[in-house]
Amino acid sequence: MVRWEPETRERLREAALDLYLANGYDDTTVTQIAQSVGVTERTFFRHFSDKREVIFGGSDLLQQEFSSGVAEAPEGSPLDMVAHAVLGSSYFPEERRPWSRRRQALITSHPELKERELNKMATLAGVLAQALRARGITEPAATLAAESGVTVFRLAFEEWVADGSTRTLAEIERGLFAALRGL
């Protein structure tokens, strides 16, 4: 086994997604993932707590980015602050779209992963609501704006990863925020 190679974490992520899509999530083991890139299980566990984290790792960074976006937003309505945070996110650059498409296909095909994704969205809404409350926004406005913003983010992401989609995530989000404001 190779003791160390650069970008091991990324190679493990790629290999895991390839194996999950080829063999099924449930039928892929950590051992198979590690062996496919020439490392040990121990190395895998240095990078990820379990095989789900390969596709869900980084959620904390997105939460932090959204929270900071609300904190830095100019004064305005709660929805405007959330829109500032969502639109200001750089977490999903265009070069991540192919991997994100494959990841979404996996999540859509597996009930346990769908549930995990829904929990991630709920946590993200909670983080946004807390950031709004820290800015002095009271309930129910904080939760309504946060939940609405996460809905916009989720719908935009689904469109962004759809086959044939060419618009940027931010373009899609702007359109959906405009539609929401028009309701």
Question: SS3 sequence, the chain?
Answer: CCCCCCCHHHHHHHHHHHHHHHHCCCCCCHHHHHHHCCCCHHHHHHHCCCCCHHHHCCHHHHHHHHHHHHHHCCCCCHHHHHHHHHHCCCCCCHHHHHHHHHHHHHHHCCHHHHHHHHHHHHHHHHHHHHHHHHCCCCCCHHHHHHHHHHHHHHHHHHHHHCCCCCCCHHHHHHHHHHHHHCC
Residue 5 has pLDDT above 70, yes or no: no
Residue 148 has pLDDT above 80, yes or no: yes
The pLDDT of residue 1 is 46
Residue 3 has pLDDT above 70, yes or no: no
On average, the pLDDT of the chain sits at 94
Residue 8 has pLDDT above 80, yes or no: yes
Residue 162 has pLDDT above 50, yes or no: yes
Tens of pLDDT along 36-89?
999 999 999 999 999 999 999 888 999 999 999 999 999 999 999 999 999 999
Tens of pLDDT along 87-110?
999 999 999 999 999 999 999 999
The pLDDT of residue 57 is 85
> Could you tell me the pLDDT band of residue 6, with boundaries at 50, 70 and 90?
low
- Percent pLDDT > 90 in the chain is 93
Task: Average the pLDDT over 20-27 and give the result.
Answer: 96
